[in-house]
């Protein structure tokens, strides 16, 4: 109940404060091609229920039906303005509306698509659907450079499944098992810090993982001192 109250109050405050900025950004997105400035993507929420997640559109219209599900830094579908929106996470701001509606939380595992996403989950990963998905989480901070990691890959979706999904799922499940209100506040603060210094934000993530009793392997990966190792998703059985 306290988490939900916090979500509602924070979302209301942010939407009121950034409302004028959002209006300007929406006008700029619309001016590019005369198409809707909002992207309503179907995502899977708590208990496996689909919902429409709203974002400022950072890609060309109908881009979800073209190319890979994963997005790389050099993806031709991203508009010039879209690169700016993604760099500063401004495209995520409308999701506070999803939080107000009770479809999302401020902090929680990022929502996934069904095709190519949840449909591939192991039984263990299905535990990620036991809570409301969030605007930010530990994996959002760790993989803030996801587009750069996948850039140049012959098959971005396959590389995502091999080096990002396994660790993202582990982080999400660990958060669900041991989350506290204090952890949520720290994740929010680190998300803001990450826009200024990714390295500093990673140090903060490692401190949280230490407090949560994460494995040495997971902490080592999250320090990002070496290329991300390939791994199987949690619960995978050959």
Cross-strand bridge partners of residue 112: 44
pTM of the model: 0.95
pLDDT of residue 238: 66
**CA 53 remoteness from chain centre:** 12
- Cβ burial, residue 129 (10 Å; 0-12/13-18/19+): buried
Comparing 40-49, 66-75, 168-177, 219-228, which segment has the lowest mean pLDDT?
66-75
Q: Rounded to an integer, what distance in angstroms lies between the CA atom of residue 46 and that of residue 26?
A: 29
Comparing 34-38, 64-68, 119-123, 171-175, which segment has the lowest mean pLDDT?
64-68
What share of the chain has pLDDT > 70, as a percent?
100
- Report how far apart the first and last C-alpha atoms of the chain are (Å, whole number): 40
With 80 as the cut, is the pLDDT of residue 79 above it?
A: yes
- Cβ burial, residue 5 (10 Å; 0-12/13-18/19+): exposed
Handedness of CA 128, 53, 71, 148 (dihedral sign): negative
Mind listing the pLDDT tens digit for each residue in 137-193? 999 999 999 999 999 999 999 999 999 999 999 999 999 999 999 999 999 999 999
Q: Return the ∠ at Cα 165 (arms to 178 and 188), rounded to 5°.
A: 45
Q: State both tokens at 109.
A: 């595992």
- Cβ burial, residue 95 (10 Å; 0-12/13-18/19+): buried
Mind listing the pLDDT tens digit for each residue in 86-134? 999 999 999 999 999 999 999 999 999 999 999 999 999 999 999 999 9
Cross-strand bridge partners of residue 56: 38
């Amino acid at each position: 109940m306290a988490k939900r109250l916090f979500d509602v109050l924070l979302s209301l405050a942010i939407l009121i404060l950034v409302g004028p900025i959002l209006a300007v950004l929406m006008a700029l997105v619309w001016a590019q091609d005369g198409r809707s400035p909002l992207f309503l993507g179907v995502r899977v929420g708590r208990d496996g229920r689909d919902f429409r997640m709203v974002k400022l559109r950072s890609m060309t219209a109908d881009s979800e039906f073209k190319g890979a599900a994963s997005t790389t830094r050099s993806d031709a579908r991203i508009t010039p303005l879209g690169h700016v929106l993604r760099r500063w996470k401004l495209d995520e701001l409308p999701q506070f509306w999803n939080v107000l509606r009770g479809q999302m939380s401020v902090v929680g595992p990022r929502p996934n698509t069904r095709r190519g996403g949840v449909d591939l989950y192991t039984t263990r990963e299905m535990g990620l659907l036991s809570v409301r998905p969030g605007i930010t989480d530990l994996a959002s901070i760790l993989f803030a450079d996801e587009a750069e990691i996948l850039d140049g890959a012959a098959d971005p979706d396959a590389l995502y499944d091999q080096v990002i999904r396994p660790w993202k799922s582990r982080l999400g499940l660990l958060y669900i098992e041991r989350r506290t209100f204090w952890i949520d506040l720290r994740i929010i603060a680190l998300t803001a810090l990450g826009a200024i210094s990714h390295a500093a934000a990673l140090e903060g993530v490692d401190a949280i993982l230490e407090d949560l009793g994460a494995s040495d392997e997971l902490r080592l990966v999250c320090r990002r001192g070496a290329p991300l190792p390939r791994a199987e998703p949690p619960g995978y059985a050959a």
